[in-house]
Amino acid sequence: MQPKPRANGTTVTEFILLGLVETPELWPVVFILFLLAYMTTVGGNLSILAAVLVEPKLHTPMYFFLGNLSVMDAGCISVTTPSMLGGLLAHRLRVPYGACLTQLFFFHLLAEVDCFLLTAMAYYCFLAICQPLTYSTRMNHSVQRILVASSWACSFSNALTHTVGTSTLHFCGRNVIDNFYCDLPQLFQLSCSNTQINELLLFALSFIMAGTPMALIFTSYIHVAAAVLRIRSAEGRKKAFSTCSSHLTVVAMFYGTGMFNYMRLGSTKLSDKDKAIGIFNTVINPMLNPLIYSLRNFDVQAALWRVLTGRRPVT
Q: What is the pLDDT of residue 272?
A: 65
Question: Average of pLDDT values for 199-222?
Answer: 89
Q: Are 69 and 49 contacting, i.e. CB atoms less than 8 angstroms apart?
A: no
Instruction: Specify if 255 maps to a domain.
Output: yes
- Confidence class for position 297, pLDDT limits 50, 70, 90: confident
pLDDT given at position 215: 92
Asked if the structure places residue 3 within a domain, the reply is no
Whether 45 maps to a domain, the answer reads: yes
Largest CA distance in the chain: 73
Instruction: Give the residue-averaged pLDDT of 251-272.
Output: 67
**Residue at 8 is within a domain:** no
Domain that holds residue 80: 15-309
Cα(55)–Cα(67) distance, integer angstroms: 12
User: Is 315 a domain residue?
Assistant: no
Q: Give the residue, 112 or 270, on which the prediction is more confident.
A: 112
pTM: 0.87
Domain at 43, CATH number: 1.20.1070.10
Q: Is the pLDDT of residue 7 over 50?
A: no
Residues 79-107: tens digit of each pLDDT: 999 988 888 887 777 889 999 999 999 99
Task: State whether the Cα torsion 39-280-77-297 is positive or negative.
Answer: positive
Give domain status of residue 129, yes or no: yes
Q: For 40-57, what is the mean pLDDT?
A: 90
Mean pLDDT (whole number) for 93-122: 92
Q: Per the domain annotation, does 314 fall within a domain?
A: no
User: Phi and psi dihedrals of 191, rounded to 5?
Assistant: -70, 140
**How many folded domains does the chain comprise?**
1
Residue 2 lies in a domain: no
Question: Which parts of 55-132 fold into alpha helices (H)?
Answer: 61-90, 97-130
CA distance 295 to 301: 8
Report d(CA 48, CA 306) in Å as an integer. 12
